[in-house]
Structure 1
Amino acid sequence: MTKPQLPDIAGAANSDAVSRSDDNLRLPLWAQLKVWLMTQIASGELPPHTQLPSEADLCRRFGVSRTVVREALKQLVMEQRIYKMQGKGSFVSEPRTDQDFVGSTMSFTSDLQRSGHIVTRQLLNQCLRQPTDEETRLLQLTDDEAEVVEIDRVLFVDGEPRTRVTAVLRASAVPGLAATPMGNRSLYQTLQQRYGIVLKKAERWVSAANSDADTASLLNIEPGSAILNIQSVSTDQNGRRIELYFAQHRTDKSRLHFFIK
């Protein structure tokens, strides 16, 4: 790791702010250190999972106090640029993709594929069954609609498990879907091409949780790791509620992107 070169930082160790030559703004010392570390990470000088110098080493290199170093590192942790391991120090986080999974009615796999990622699916379960009371309510099933189609899969991005999605569909709208091989097939493309269904609107709920042992095993994360639980109800072009899904999304590989109009 090369010696940091920040404007006047060594000579301003006892000052709250220093002058930046490029835009004449005055940045606090911790912000200068943060910018330098971010530059090193972005350039590849500090690749993912590289251990950062210790707080004492950074203090010596920059001629600043431990308070300045700790504030810079705290901000980088909050922005998930680095992570800390108890008793070991600070490490560079792995870059995370922005994933339009929640903020769009379009399948998130399409967004990822258009960005050059490879998306595959592992089928866990596919069946025709009776709906639960909650499924009946959320899909607004009528009294004579006694069945739903369940498709439970794990979605992989570039070979890594990313999300477990259990889709529950109104069986009357998708006859024969329970017997259609859906292992690695796009559900939304199948709905459009086979049934003429285009999902136009979705209502979604997101909550934070810790993964249980089963989910952790499927997503290749440690039990208790942070995940997002996502529930969605999608409506077709005729105003019918067609799809209800429950997703468990790992948070260490991507951020979910919301676009609000």
Structure 2
Amino acid sequence: MLKYQDVAEKIKQTIYQQKLPKDTQLPNIEGLINQYQVSRTTIIKALNQLERHGVIYQIQGSGIFVRQPKKSGYLNFLESHGFSVDLNDLPGASQVFNVDIIEPDKKVKENLRCGDDEHVYYIKRLRYVDGEIYGFEQSYYRKKLVSYLNKEIAEHSIFSYVKDICKISIGFSDKYFKAIKLDAEIAKYLGLQAGDPALCVEEIFYTSAGEPFDFSKIIYHYDNAKFYVQSHSK
């Protein structure tokens, strides 16, 4: 984790742990520099990240303020820091069905830019939030970059493992959305009926160097999954 990301996380945790209400004014840039003992550049980058994530808003000449907290249980539609991280306001869990090493098919190979001799980890799991099925996920991780995965890791936050243990700096992602009708197999996992509507999201995650390491597809439960988007003017 880069220094500005660490500072941004500390500021965010302070806001959430102290349950600071909307429009609470935070210390100014000089105050934050003194508090966290980092450079002006680091603080500015941290604040810009928090603003992009909808945690704060800044008014030139007036200060830095807490933005309206997101509603509990809602998933940020635009962020790419992982399912578990974004829903940490509610208890989550995963039911893992398999963690296998496979040869990628054409679609996975193209999305992950795999070489001809590369293998990937294939993980299939149900994601739960507050005891309710939230979505059915199929993920493919490049073994070249994520050298080891098992069921125990997959039951928790793979992204935390990737960052903390594999030391991969996660950069950005590309998301693709489409509305679908469930087939019988996926409907059974979600506890729904074949032909029911669902939102399918395919996402490619990249390292900070721009190399793809994870291709995931999540099919969300139409009645349980909830999303939000926070925009800003910049």
Report if TM-score (shorter chain) is over 0.5.
yes
The equivalent residue for 2:119 is 147
Q: Secondary structure at the match of 2:153?
A: coil
Note if 1:104 corresponds to 2:75: no
The residue type paired with residue 188 of structure 2 is S
Contact 2:98–2:123 (CA<8 Å) still a contact in 1?
yes
Instruction: Select 2:136's aligned residue among 151, 154, 164.
Output: 164
For structure 2, list consecutive stretches of 5 or more residues without a partner in the other structure: 1-70
The residue type paired with residue 99 of structure 1 is L
Question: Which structure is higher in RCO with an 8 Å CA cutoff and minimum separation 6?
Answer: 2
Note if 1:225 corresponds to 2:201: no
Identity %: 18
The equivalent residue for 1:190 is 161
Contact 1:96–1:254 (CA<8 Å) still a contact in 2?
no
Q: How does 1:70-219 map to 2 (within 5 A)?
A: 97-100=73-76, 102-113=77-88, 115=89, 117-143=90-116, 145-177=117-149, 179=150, 181-219=152-190
Which deviates more, 204-213 or 180-189?
180-189
Label 1:207 to 1:237 Cα distance change in 2 as closer, same or farther (>3 A).
Answer: same
The residue type paired with residue 118 of structure 1 is P
Label 1:180 to 1:152 Cα distance change in 2 as closer, same or farther (>3 A).
Answer: closer
For structure 1, list consecutive stretches of 5 or more residues without a partner in the other structure: 1-94
Distance in structure 1 (CA, Å) of the matches to 2:154 and 2:172: 25
Distance in structure 2 (CA, Å) of the matches to 1:238 and 1:96: 33
Q: Secondary structure at the match of 1:191?
A: helix
TM-score by length of 1: 0.58
Tell me how far 1:169 sits from its aligned partner. 0.8
The equivalent residue for 1:245 is 216
TM-score by length of 2: 0.64
Runs of 4+ off more than 3 Å: 258-261
Q: Deviations over 1:27-80 (max 9, x none)?
A: xxxxxxxxxxxxxxxxxxxxxxxxxxxxxxxxxxxxxxxxxxxxxxxxxxxxxx
Q: How does 1:51-66 map to 2 (within 5 A)?
A: none
Q: Secondary structure at the match of 2:165?
A: helix
The residue type paired with residue 138 of structure 1 is N
Contact 1:96–1:255 (CA<8 Å) still a contact in 2?
no
Distance in structure 2 (CA, Å) of the matches to 1:243 and 1:183: 13
Label 1:183 to 1:232 Cα distance change in 2 as closer, same or farther (>3 A).
Answer: closer
Label 1:211 to 1:129 Cα distance change in 2 as closer, same or farther (>3 A).
Answer: same
The residue type paired with residue 110 of structure 1 is V
Q: Secondary structure at the match of 1:197?
A: coil
Note if 1:254 corresponds to 2:225: yes
Q: Secondary structure at the match of 1:254?
A: coil
Distance in structure 2 (CA, Å) of the matches to 1:249 and 1:216: 11
Distance in structure 2 (CA, Å) of the matches to 1:96 and 1:225: 26
The residue type paired with residue 212 of structure 1 is D
Q: Secondary structure at the match of 1:248?
A: strand
Label 1:185 to 1:254 Cα distance change in 2 as closer, same or farther (>3 A).
Answer: closer
Tell me how far 1:259 sits from its aligned partner. 4.2
Distance in structure 1 (CA, Å) of the matches to 2:130 and 2:73: 12
